[in-house]
Amino acid sequence: MHLAYPVVLAALLFSVGVYGVLARRNAVLVLISVELMLNAVNLNLVAFDAWLRDSLHAGQALTLFTITIAAAEIGLGLAIVLLLFRARGTADIDRATALGDPAETLAEEAPAGAGALKGQATA
């Protein structure tokens, strides 16, 4: 089989994964897209391993390795999504921006922090 088929397939899979990661709003679907990208890489590894006739089959070994890691990673990721859903009632990734640094809120927080410090000092 010509190398082009699996490689093109892998590229398509990867592109679909990238699109999913960047565009989907549901966190679960983003995780699935990440899996798609990983699997595109796996496909590449296996294809090149076969094409290069590697006697040690490093590509296949690495693929197994990646699958294991991916399983662990998806477990962790799903757990985070689950906790996010429990806390917020939604798994919408656009609304999970609590770690951002919006300008307005900071300006309001600063005096509050100062007040808290002052409270500590007086206490």
Partner 1 sequence: MNLALPVLVPALPALGAAATLAAGKKAPGLARPLAIVPVAASAVLALVVALQLGTGQALDAATRLTPTGGPDIALAVHLDGYSSLISVLVGLVATCVQVYSTAYLKEDPRYPSYAALVSLFTAAMFLVVYSGDLIVLLVGWEVMGICSYFLIGHHWETADARSASLKAFLVTKLGDVPFLFGIFMLGADAHSFRIQDVLAAATDGKLGHPTLIALLLLAGVAGKSAQFPLHTWLPDAMAGPTPVSALIHAATMVAAGIYLVARLLPVFLLSGAALVVLAVMAAVTMIGSALCALAQDDLKRVLAYSTVGQLGYMAGALASGDREASVFHLVSHGAFKALLFLAAGVVIHAAHTNSISAMSRIPGLRKRVPDAYWTMGIGLVALIGLPPFSGFFSKDAVLSAAEHAANGEAMTNGLGPASAVPQAAGWIVLVSAALTALLTAAYATRLFLLAFHSPAGAAAVAPEVVAPAAADRATVVADHEAGAPYSPELDEADPATAEPHAMRWPLWVLAVPTMTFGIAGVRSDWLPALLDGGSLRPSGVTAVTSTGLAVAGALLAYGAWRSATARLGAGRPAPAPVGRVPEQAGAPAVEVIVADPGRTLLGPLFGPARHGFGVDRLYTALFVRPVIAAARLVRFLDREVVEGYVQGSGIGANLLGRAVRLAQTGNVQTYLSALLAGVVLLTVLVAV
In b/e form, how buried is each residue of 72-85, taking b as 16+ CB within 10 angstroms? eeeeebeeebeebe
Q: Which stretch binds partner 1 (CB under 8 A): 21-29, 37-45, 49-57, 79-87?
A: 21-29
Please say which residue, 95 or 118, places its beta carbon nearer to partner 1: 95
Q: Which of residues 24-63 bind partner 1 (CB under 8 A)?
A: 30
Counting every residue written for the chain, the total comes to 123
Name the minimum Å distance from CB 53 to partner 1: 28
Distinct helix (H) and strand (E) counts, the chain = 4, 0
Q: Which of residues 90-119 bind partner 1 (CB under 8 A)?
A: 93-94, 96-103, 106
Please say which residue, 18 or 74, places its beta carbon nearer to partner 1: 18
Q: How many of the chain's residues bind partner 1 (CB under 8 A)?
A: 16
**Token pair for 84:** 């996010």
Contact 93, 34 (CB under 8 A): no
